[in-house]
Chain A
């Protein structure tokens, strides 16, 4: 299975919104709603941010939202804050008890 495609980097100024895309195929992203997103700071374990494409676990600010259209999922961060600067990864179920991550996107807050 191939990895999902994410932009290497995105950037935005405080208060702005940014969107990170995650493109897969009809066998993974497009096949189900089992899409999740993770935030990772350098030297730290990833943090669970979004599941079921759009849902937020308890404690995740509502500035973070997810969506999906066809084979592409997206993570949008609105009201950008300095603490949002991190790496972000998408993950999708690829069938047959297999999962695949995106290559990761580095978010820079200008």
Chain B
């Protein structure tokens, strides 16, 4: 059974940093691109960042470009999102999602975690 479990959210002050983690199981992690998608409670989905199967390709939404860094560790079957210079508008539920497109990412998010909540406030 495919499982994605996010962790690392919490309350953080503006300007600080935080790292989110996503532990993957039930599939061959190295065979899939992965993504982070966020959602402000009561609002819509926003694609945040994606990384190819081998980390060779990465992309970021304009709203986080230069502040967030996505990475993955195949030995730990884990996906990460390093978030720096956090802003109140980054407050959201952050989902980890697998890309069904396999190694060639297509943005087909076939499995999602339950999300980890980040709140940026002083």
Residue contact A97 to B105, C-beta cutoff 8 Å: yes
Min Cβ gap A110→B in Å is: 23
Q: Is the CB of A91 within 8 A of B44?
A: no
**Footprint of B on A, CB under 8 Å?**
1, 3, 34, 36, 38, 40, 45-46, 48, 51-52, 57, 89, 91-93, 96-104
Q: Which of B18-26, B58-66, B71-79, B82-90 contacts A (4 or more CB under 8 A)?
A: B58-66
Chain B residues within CB distance 8 Å of chain A: 35, 37, 43-47, 50, 52, 57-62, 95, 100, 105-115
Report the bound CA distance from A52 to B43 in whole Å.
Answer: 25
Check if B62 sits within 8 Å of A1, measured CB to CB. yes
Known: A48-B109, A93-B106. A98 touches B45 (CB 8 A): no
A36 touches B112 (CB 8 A): no
The answer to whether B44 and A51 have CB atoms under 8 Å apart is no
